[in-house]
A = this chain, B = another copy of it.
């Protein structure tokens, strides 16, 4: 299949699905949930083929690639939960009377055509498709080559659920199968409204650097925890362990720990005990290494590094302002936390740290669409426009202005005898 053809059919489909009713979209989702359940063995068979063809991949990747009955149950539950979410389309954001019988409404509409490029985890096919259908968008999906068989079966199931119900064109969900197609997709700015890459820093950066299409996502997650002089010691210890060790391979795990100089002498040896038990490698600045003798030195490069591993850099700072400055300079605008009992200090941190999630007295690991209660997420964005932080259905819509009049013309409101607008909020 030619990519230009796919894009043209996607654009055409987007104009149709935009008008689909909530009922039609939910019917498709409920059938999809059922079809996933019915086709369990077919999915698992395809996945076994992927697993056997990619035996040489690292353990962690194989674990992400594997689809078993429990993962399919999770997909079924996820699709059903998306069906239960409010329809994000058709919401009237504002309504204004410009003049008698001249009414302006700002109404949410789907974005249009979205392309999602991801690696390894096949459940992303189902997750993104469900969110796209619910929000009236068309989606082009490109998964990792290692999951090709699983992705194909999942996409076929999704397209069949769409086809079995009238009102949404089958082309609302399309799979791209080669890397060459991805390269072409990046040039299709006339057809694609938004790109969502999910995967390694390299993948995301490559895409950001090779397209004019808007990209939603994040390349790096260099997250910080700042332990303030007024921190509660127990909370600080628990949060620092959770943020680093609970799942170190993910974007919202802590990479750099900042500690107030007046509490460092007490706090650092205690946290080191906990980290030693969890086998975390520590790297410190000069001041830190005066307290934690024998740990490695942290260089300028460490402050810029997302380890995604059991490694942590530590720096002692003079006050909250130095912590804020460090985070705004070296952070990736993803998620940063402060531990303190002083509310003024906490508020200063929450206001001045320029990140998508700012956290007081809790772990950075909470920054996630499911934990935030968004239902499901298309990803986490560190963009400064459109959508920031964990992005759920709300990030997949935009709005249009609908103006309804009764023959109104602008000439009436211009010149010497200009009629005035009422501009009344309704």
Interface residues of A (CB under 8 A from B): 14-15, 18-19, 96, 98, 102, 104, 106, 111-112, 193-194, 208-209, 212, 214, 216, 232, 234-235, 238-239, 241-242, 246-247, 328, 346, 350-352, 354-363, 365-367, 371-373, 383-390, 398-411, 413-414, 421, 423
Q: Given A413-B371, A421-B373, are A359 and B403 also a contact pair (CB < 8 Å)?
A: yes
Instruction: Pull 22 A–B residue pairs with CB atoms less than 8 Å apart, ordered by A.
Output: A15-B354, A18-B352, A98-B373, A209-B212, A241-B409, A242-B411, A247-B410, A358-B401, A358-B402, A358-B403, A360-B403, A362-B403, A362-B404, A362-B407, A366-B410, A367-B401, A371-B410, A372-B401, A383-B398, A385-B386, A385-B398, A389-B400
Is the Cβ of B361 less than 8 Å from the Cβ of A404?
Answer: yes
Evaluate whether A366 and B19 lie within 8 angstroms (CB atoms) in the complex, with A98-B372, A242-B409, A246-B409 already known: no
Q: Note all chain B residues with C-beta closer than 8 A to A351.
A: 18-19
B residues near A98, Cβ cutoff 8 Å: 366, 371-373
* Given A359-B403, A366-B410, A400-B355, A384-B194 contact (CB < 8 Å): yes
Which residues of B sit under 8 angstroms from A405, Cβ to Cβ?
359-362, 366
Instruction: Find out whether the CB atom of B423 lies under 8 angstroms from the CB atom of A361.
Output: no
Tell me, in angstroms, the Cα distance from A239 to B407 when the chains sit together: 7
Q: Choose from B232, B241, B402, B407 the contact partner of A238 (Cβ within 8 Å).
A: B407
Complex formed: what's the CA distance from A405 to B235 in Å? Answer: 10
Q: Are B407 and A328 in contact (CB under 8 A)?
A: no
Q: Is the CB of A389 within 8 A of B401?
A: yes
Q: How far is the CB of A421 from chain B (nearest CB, A)?
A: 7
A371: chain B residues within 8 A (beta carbon): 98, 410, 413, 421
